[in-house]
A and B are shown apart, each in its own frame.
Chain A
Amino acid sequence: MLFLTLAVEQIVNGLFLGAIYLLIALGLSLIFSLGGIVNLAHGAFYAIGAYLTIVVSPYLGFGGSLVVAPVLVGLLGLLAEKFLFRRFYRSDPILSLLLTFGLAMVAEQAIRMIFGAPPLPYSIPQALRGQIFLGDFVLSRYRLTILAAVVVAVAAVWFLLQRTTFGRIVRAGVQNPDMVAALGISLKPYMAAVVMLSVGLAALAGVMLAPISGVHPAMGAEVLTGAFVVVVIGGLGSFWGVVVAALIVGIVRGLMVLVYPGFAEAAIYALMAFILLVRPRGLFGERILRFE
């Protein structure tokens, strides 16, 4: 029984991390499917979101930074799209990979310059502290709240993509950009909007994780590899693939913390290697020739 209690607690912790990965992986997948860019700078936008929390919350509180940080980071994404990404949509994807890697490097160093290298503490807001008791299970109030918020955010993204004109244009653009153009629709503003949305989601994840693990310059690089594992397992460009993969990675990681904590991180890479052996394109991935 004790084991079960601990297991549920760790699974919730794992799912929490999976949810953070999911927010980042969804954005990665969106930018990739529409623009053909694997954005290695995505983790940087996440880190900037977390740092903005520290800057903004003394004035607006945690709730305020949940809104303000993603918006500000979205605007930053708009600039990156307009001046950098746009030049690489139709070029060799390897170049954009190197470009965004360089951007990630610059962003991380810029954070170090502005905020210093040591981690900055940020504590869980008063209202969300403490535990929730469900029978024998003890669950963190904050984590559960955030999990619920992520579910809402992901549902909103799903609604936007599936049920709105904006989403239909984006999905049509992924399928057949030439045909979209032949209907008089220029994809440029949509591409910019998708980048804004995607990096905004990453920033939201950054704000959410700030109270849990502290805020430090390398946090972007750390979360990025995890998010890539989710994307590789789920299959680039697949909404449900990414959602399912994030859940799997979260649960596996949570259980590993219980069994063999030192290698919880390594376990998700082993999981990825296994899935690649069995399904080289990921769980739901489609073959996109130009990225192979």
Chain B
Amino acid sequence: MTALSVPAPPRKAPVLPEGLTLGAAALVLVVLPFALQGLGLTLTSATDVVIFAIATLGLNILVGQTGLVSFGHGAFFGIGAYAAAILQRNLFPGGMVLPALAALALVAGLAVLLGLLILRRRGVYFSLLTLALSALSFTIAFRWTALTGGENGYGGVQRESLLGLDVGDSWVWYAVVAVVGFAVLVALARFRRSPVGTVLEAIRENEQRARFLGYPTNRYKLTAFAVSATVTGLAGVLMAFSHRFASAEPLGTAFSGELLAMVVIGGMRSLAGPAIGALFFILFRELLSIWTGDWLFWFGLLFVGFILFSPDGLVGIARRVMRMIRPEPTEDAAMAGRRAGTPENLPAFLRPEGAVRPQEAVRPGEAVRPGEAVGGTILAADGISKRFGGLKAVQDVSLAVRDRTLHALIGPNGAGKTTAFNLISGMFKPDTGSVTLRGGSVAGFAPEKICAAGLGRSFQITNLFPALTVEDNIRIAVQGRHPGRFDVWRDARRDPAVRAETAEILRWLGLAGLERAEAGSLSYGGQRLLDMGVALATKPRVLLLDEPLAGLAAAERTRIGDIIKRVSTEVPVLMVEHDIDRVFQIADAVTVMNEGQVLVDGTVEDARTSPKVQEVYIGSGTAAMAAKPRPSAAEAEVLLALEGVDTFYGKSHILNGVTFDVHTHEIVALLGRNGAGKSTCLKTITGIAPHAAGYIRLGRDSLDGLSAAATARAGIGYVPQGRGLFAGMSVAENLELGRLRRRTGNGVHWDEERILSYFPRLRERWRTAADYLSGGEQQMVAVARALSGDTRVLLLDEPFEGLAPAVVESLFETFDALRKEVSIVIVDHNLDLALALSDRTVALERGRVMHVGPSRDLRDDLDLRRKVLWL
């Protein structure tokens, strides 16, 4: 859980003066042999530096650029060396070019095959597999003596003449290696800037999003793996010629680790960083080994030091020093000068061709082209259903999005709208039913296919490429539908068509002037806007937006809402959104879902006036339990007080100056629509989502800055939504964990007997594993566990969710009885129940307290309830 981050001004992405890097590299290559000899080292050391630099540059394509840490690149180095040596001796005696080329082809082919296997896993697993690759190749090379010479290595490699040059001479050979090294650097510089190279960075930042922009990321990763292995293999080939010898040693994990250490120490986020690391490694090894045989020990310590204090390596340190000397300008001015006028029409190139004709436009008797949808419907879900385990998340949902309209999907928490949205957008495959776009099925498509079919989607939680610039975020999306996207050579940022479209979209979004800012450093509103821009830049036929307004301030809501409305007049939009005020203002059609099914499907007026919809949102005021008056037990003394509490998730400002209090033995209902901040408010009180500003007091103690564990020990019991029981543990064991550290004297003491007097049913279930209980029993365990120990305040998040009416009633009575023991804060979407149970209501809206008052008024007066909690 990340919280506490206060928005900072946008940060400019570090820009690499690439020409400067290449010039400096050329200079270093010329000076290197003389400099090393000046330090008392040999020409061989200079050659080794260049060879290791090539190997690390190759490795860094995976590590720094694609974000895949390989512990096995020594294998490709070693295989390259063996292949060149063995081929030269057996097939091309005395030759150099042919054995080298054949060896590279072999390494490349092998890398493709191994990549197909290893790239099945990502992250940590990928690293473990490469580790195993290196161990495996080492044992094979070591044991297959007939081929590799085993322990003794494979000698007899010749280095005499290469294209008429006398490479037997060390100086000439150094010159050849230096030229090859420089060529590799230039080529990799181009590769980095090419469409493929920039997509690799996008994969590092956010692979899922790259797929939803239409990139088949597996192909890109395989390309990266093969290129990376081949470049490292080239270094191995050069090494074999250089030392006229190949051995199993580089295949072992130790050498792979050293290569990785060079990359990290040099700096994995820059072009030439790994080469600097290679130079550093050789200098360190050669100079320190004059003094001590234990240079590797000190090298290891240094490596650990870099991981701890400068994961960006030497280049990162240099950048920090530079920033101290000459601070980089932040983009404050551009942010302030951002144009925020009324939205314009979409750029022409994003307008879809061939709008779907409304039914009226089809002349009688006219044959409809196969595949052409008529009647205005462009995207249709027909009877889709999805189960998760035993839970029917979505049942038989149908909806139809007409061209050039804004279609909203709304409903209370747990209504299944996000699942329905994910079924339509291809995230999940529906169990039954069909999803069709312009008459063609798209159900169960892979993300990249969905995008190609014409569905562009944004995400509930901002889902960008955070370390890339704003411009690159849009450019990657634009590039995905241009023919050059598999190009490895051309400069991706100089493609005139892609560039023009990117600039036009940025201008249209109002992000012009912020092109060079890192996407992750934009304000939350800026990120949401960019997120939508990225989805639009894929030129979708239908745009799918998942809660585009969540977490935004009022002014930004209006602005982004207006932009969405404008977009929908050209590109139809389907959006899931909690903010029903905005939805009712801007939507053309509304589908309301409840409990996995469609409740109302029609116009805004249909939804607004539907009694069924109102009942879902604000209750009917007629529940049986509500009828019986519940005497309050509240006392005058304030037990829990929040004052001006602010909470952030990342950059998203969730709670804004929340102030309310809870009296001893009082029940307070915390109400408000989805996304209002109710759950976050409970998590803030527990310390799980710590507040960045404001004060929380419990009795005489302050809870500010306390850890979640310390807060719980102060006497706060928490029942999360979904109950959070520990699977595989019995009821007794779950309760034991609740009691273990909370016998503190802070509040009422809840021992086994006392708990069982409130939840007698648990006595029979005492030894049953919690995951085998019914939903109602599980909820009882969750409440009992929260009480276990010494508890003063009980926080309940959606305690009635998903329970049968009889169970709800019994829980309700239990809570009613509990008010004599503890204070309770309850969040529930069933307003009739929450209002009937509680003494007072605190209504939240967009993270602010909008209303505090007696619950009875809201319970009895539906008009007042509508006013406070509806529109």
Contact = CB atoms under 8 A, between A and B. Distances in A.
Interface of A: 38, 84, 87, 93-95, 97-99, 101-103, 105-106, 109-110, 112-113, 165, 168-169, 171-172, 175-176, 178-187, 218, 221, 225, 228-229, 231-232, 236, 262-263, 265-266, 269, 272-273, 276-277, 280, 290-292
Contacts of A94: 67, 69, 123-124, 127
A77 to B, nearest CB: 16
Interface string B718-757: 1010001011110001001110111010000000000000
B61 interface: no
B124 A38 contact: yes
How many chain B residues sit at the interface, stated as a range, is: 35 or more
Nearest to A264: B139
Interface of B: 1, 67, 69, 71, 117, 120-125, 127-129, 131-133, 135-136, 139-140, 143-144, 253-254, 257, 260-261, 264, 294, 296-297, 299-301, 303-304, 307-308, 311, 686-688, 707-710, 712-713, 718, 720, 724, 726-729, 733, 736-738, 740-742, 744, 785-786, 788-789
Contact of A102 (B132, B144, B304, B724): B304
Given A184-B789, A292-B123, A95 B311 contact: yes
Contact of B124 (A93, A165, A178): A93
B contact patch SS: helix
A113 B726 CA distance: 48
Contacts of A38: 124, 127-128
B708 A181 contact: yes
B135 A225 contact: yes
Nearest to B258: A105
B304 A106 contact: yes
Contact of A184 (B139, B144, B303, B709): B709
| Closest 6 pairs (CB-CB, A-B) | A109-B297, A181-B708, A184-B712, A105-B300, A106-B300, A225-B135
B254 A221 contact: yes
Contact of B737 (A97, A185, A231, A232): A185
B304 A103 contact: yes
A105 B1 contact: no
Given A184-B713, A187-B709, 18 more contacts: A94-B127, A97-B127, A178-B1, A182-B686, A183-B712, A183-B738, A184-B710, A184-B740, A185-B712, A185-B740, A218-B254, A225-B253, A228-B128, A228-B132, A236-B124, A263-B143, A269-B132, A269-B133
Contacts of A84: 308
Find the residue from A38, A109, A110 having the highest chain B CB count within 10 A: A109
B253 A292 contact: no
A234 to B, nearest CB: 12
Given A102-B307, A183-B785, A266 B140 contact: yes
Contacts of B127: 38, 94, 97
A140 to B, nearest CB: 24
17 contacts: A94-B127, A97-B127, A99-B304, A101-B260, A102-B300, A102-B303, A102-B307, A106-B297, A112-B294, A113-B297, A165-B737, A169-B737, A181-B712, A183-B742, A184-B713, A186-B710, A225-B131
A242 to B, nearest CB: 14
Contact of A98 (B128, B264, B296): B264
Contacts of A176: 724, 726
A171 B729 contact: yes
Contact of A186 (B707, B726, B785): B707
A187 B712 CA distance: 13
Given A171-B728, A182-B688, A105 B709 contact: no
A178 B708 contact: yes
A276 B720 contact: no
A181 B737 contact: no
A185 B303 contact: no
B122 A292 contact: yes
B726 A276 contact: no
Nearest to B136: A269
Contacts of A184: 709-710, 712-713, 740-742, 744, 789
Nearest to A32: B124
